[in-house]
Structure 1
């Protein structure tokens, strides 16, 4: 899948990062989340510097420090009541 041109990629990236936060867990490598998202979305998050390289056989992605902080912020911003 590619991201359609009429979609705001910044908003999409924020929401995708927030959704990843729902499955995020800390381990010895940092904060990880299962990468059950479309490749175009994980590539977009990687390009923004919010997650490590999503390509590979691992079933999870590692958040960068910035990405971990923003994930929680965006989760509250887009989904809090």
Structure 2
């Protein structure tokens, strides 16, 4: 069950993400992190998200975005973008 919670949290982070400028003209997918910290820690350890513990949002890495897209197929979710 823990794995499914991590997967669905990553999917929700992706589906609720927005494009944001994080400096020097670079853009990234950002999402608010209103999810259990244990799950966010797991996603961070897998390098799917990055962000400061003090920030209220996280950035999705390229690996995280690709994994989220695979999860969209797995859970039959339409693309939000």
Instruction: For 2:21 and 2:8, locate their aligned partners in 1 and report how far apart those are by CA, in whole Å.
Output: 26
User: What TM-score do the two structures reach when normalised by structure 1?
Assistant: 0.74
Higher relative contact order (CA 8 A, sep 6+): 1
1:25 pairs with 18, 21, 25, which one? Answer: 18
Which runs of at least 4 in structure 1 moved beyond 3 Å after TM superposition? none
Instruction: For 2:65 and 2:19, locate their aligned partners in 1 and report how far apart those are by CA, in whole Å.
Output: 10
The CA deviation at 1:79 is 4.2
Q: In structure 2, list runs of 5 or more residues that go unmatched.
A: 23-27
2:75 pairs with 73, 78, 81, which one? Answer: 78
Q: In structure 1, list runs of 5 or more residues that go unmatched.
A: 1-6
Q: Which has the higher strand share?
A: 2
The CA deviation at 1:39 is 0.5
